[in-house]
A and B are shown apart, each in its own frame.
Chain A
Amino acid sequence: MRRDIFQAIADPTRRAIISLIAVQAMTPNAIAENFNTTRQAVSKHLRILTECELVSQEQQGREIYYSLEINKLKELDKWLEQYRTLWENRFDQLDNLLSTIK
Chain B
Amino acid sequence: MSTNSSFNFRVDKSKKTVYVTKEFAAGLSLVWDAFTKKELLDQWWAPKPFLSKTKVMEFKVGGRRFYAMVSPEGKQMWQLQQYTSITPKTNFKFLSVFADEDQTPHLPGSDWDLSFTEENGRTKVDISIYNESLERMERMMVMGFKEGFTATLNELDSILTSLK
Interface residues of A (CB under 8 A from B): 6-7, 9-10, 15, 18-19, 22-23, 70, 73, 76-77, 79-80, 82-99, 101-102
Complex CA gap A88/B145 in Å reads 13
Complex CA gap A19/B149 in Å reads 13
Report whether B7 and A88 are in contact in the complex, using a CB–CB cutoff of 8 Å.
yes
Report whether A84 and B24 are in contact in the complex, using a CB–CB cutoff of 8 Å.
no
Q: Which residue of B lies closest to A101 (CB)?
A: B30
Chain B, 1-39, contact with A by CB distance < 8 Å: what is the 0/1 string? 110100101010000001010101110001100100000
Q: Which of B18, B20, B26 contacts A98 (CB 8 A)?
A: B26
Interface residues of B (CB under 8 A from A): 1-2, 4, 7, 9, 11, 18, 20, 22, 24-26, 30-31, 34, 40, 43-48, 134-135, 138, 141-142, 144-150, 152-153, 155-156, 159-160, 163
Report whether B156 and A22 are in contact in the complex, using a CB–CB cutoff of 8 Å.
yes
Q: Which of B22, B44, B144 contacts A83 (CB 8 A)?
A: B144
Q: Which 3 A-B pairs have the closest CB atoms?
A: A83-B146, A6-B138, A93-B44
